[in-house]
Amino acid sequence: AQTVTQSQPEMSVQEAETVTLSCTYDTSENNYYLFWYKQPPSRQMILVIRQEAYKQQNATENRFSVNFQKAAKSFSLKISDSQLGDTAMYFCAFMTRDTGNQFYFGTGTSLTVIP
């Protein structure tokens, strides 16, 4: 079974500080793709960052970076210099082509950036 677990339903961080959102997943596949999406209160899902499982180097997108630990099946998201606009629900997801391109999402972490 393919599962994604986000164990932190809610988190908060002071503006300009750094926060890490955790995600673990379970799959028997070797070739898969991992994603972090954010869903602000306006509800449009936006891609934050993606990682190919075959790449050892952690992905980075400006203030967003991941810590991908393949053996531990862990895929955490670090947000540096948090901004008010980062307030959103964050979803961790993965996809394998062997499951018909189906994305498996976690239940999300609600992040609030405090001024």
Q: For binding to other proteins (CB under 8 A), which residues are involved?
A: 4, 33, 35, 37, 42-47, 50, 91, 93, 95, 97, 99-108
Largest CA distance in the chain: 44
Nearest approach, Cβ of 45 to other proteins (angstroms)?
4
**Which residue's CB is nearer to other proteins, number 62 or number 101?**
101
Which DSSP letter does residue 113 get?
E
Sorted by sequence, the CB contacts under 8 Å of residue 39 that are 6+ apart come out as 45, 46, 88, 89, 90, 91, 108
| The two three-digit tokens of residue 90, written as one number | 């964050």
For residue 55, the minimal CB distance to other proteins (Å) is 11
Q: Give least dist CB 14 to other proteins, A.
A: 27
When the beta carbons of 55 and 114 are compared against other proteins, the nearer one is 55
- Give the integer Cα–Cα distance in Å for 100 and 98: 6
**Considering beta carbons, is residue 42 or 115 the nearer one to other proteins?**
42
